Structure 1
């Protein structure tokens, strides 16, 4: 009786979202917090609505460029390290194949395979894709988690601009009287929604995600507004 082919059980995981999700959430969070904090500080110092809006727009542009450059440099450094490790591992496999086979077998044995089975698995993987096996199981680098500098930079810059545009829209539409309260309250709502959305995309607790982002955003805005009020009083 012929054996049935092994069926593939497809599962959806969220690890492929880690790179862009981290950059997007970080960018949007910084956009809301830094822009709202900036305009609240300027408002607390006594500036009028037009000056507050100009300061916010300048903060949006500067912040988006800073996020893109910082994320690109940071992630590119990670990519350079990964590439260097790949090249080093490639040379070791070419020059010391037996030692690399033993190293790979030791990894599988440490994970629970019997020594004999671990050697067999290592041998077959070395024949199939030696570098891929070592990169994945020895170095812990995979295509899903590898660094993508341009993707991270674009995600950070665009999400920062989108986040910063929210408090700016409030400034442009809200009445001059009570502007500070409007910006603060709506920014906290935006942060809560962002935290919940990020938590949902990552499969985490919505309440915890929303609370974490909102708390630190509120603290940043309060401190900046306090400094602005103090500076305005001194000047």
Structure 2
């Protein structure tokens, strides 16, 4: 292996964008399935449009806020870890510059460079920006592009909301006799799309992902609808 190049940096940036896209698809998928299960379950107990709308909106807000909060906490923890690692690297560079240079030479040698070339590259990288060199080669971190918890939280919130709106609108907009059929059809079609998209983004065969998505969505709606119907029959 070699030191990070422009092409490698571009590849890392592309990988980061793909990760965001995958997260958006998965967030939308969660919104579709959870909200579909909720409104279909309520539809099993009542045909009242206001009850369906209230339940759907409550589920949308609860789910999107929960996703945003969870993503914020998770990414904040990651960012704190990255900052701590950079702070420790700064300390080591300040207190043990020669040892850190040798460490960088060793890492570059392990990536396939000869000892002489690795030392020359390490010295050049250190003169240019020692912290950036160690952060990139040793830690795999770009000091200027640390993960942003607010961006992650908003992305999760919007993705979940976008997904949740589909089953909610499909349930409350059509005439009473068509609500369930339209919702199930829209949700299953959306499951096909999100399964295919997630597989393509991960360069995986789309068939298994689509099948898993459709089966999971159908099962969730079947279970919640049956539960709502039973509760209605029991007078709950």
TM-score range, shorter chain: 0.7 to 0.9
**Which is helix-richer, 1 or 2?**
2
Offset of 1:66 from its aligned partner?
1.6
Q: Which residue of 2 aligns with 1:96?
A: 96
The worse-fitting range, judged by mean Cα deviation, of 84-93 and 185-194 is 185-194
Backbone CA RMSD of aligned residues = 2.7
Q: Which residue of 2 aligns with 1:152?
A: 152
Separation in structure 1 between the aligned mates of residue 96 and residue 8 of structure 2, nearest angstrom: 37
- SS of residue in 2 equivalent to 1:113: coil
Q: Which residue of 1 aligns with 2:3?
A: none
Q: Which residue of 1 aligns with 2:35?
A: 35
Q: Which residue of 1 aligns with 2:53?
A: 53
Query: Which structure 2 segments of 5+ residues have no match?
Result: 1-5
The worse-fitting range, judged by mean Cα deviation, of 208-217 and 33-42 is 208-217
Offset of 1:202 from its aligned partner?
5.6
Distance change (3 Å), C-alpha of 1:109 and 1:230: farther
TM-score by length of structure 2 reads 0.84
TM-score by length of structure 1 reads 0.84
Which structure 1 residue ranges, 4+ long, deviate > 6 Å from structure 2? 8-12
Offset of 1:198 from its aligned partner?
4.3
Separation in structure 2 between the aligned mates of residue 143 and residue 95 of structure 1, nearest angstrom: 20
Offset of 1:18 from its aligned partner?
3.6
- SS of residue in 2 equivalent to 1:138: helix
Residue by residue over 1:130-184, the C-alpha shift from the partner in whole angstroms, topping out at 9 and shown as x without a partner, is 1111111111123697411111111111121111111111112222124223212
The worse-fitting range, judged by mean Cα deviation, of 218-227 and 183-192 is 218-227
Q: How many equivalent residue pairs?
A: 228
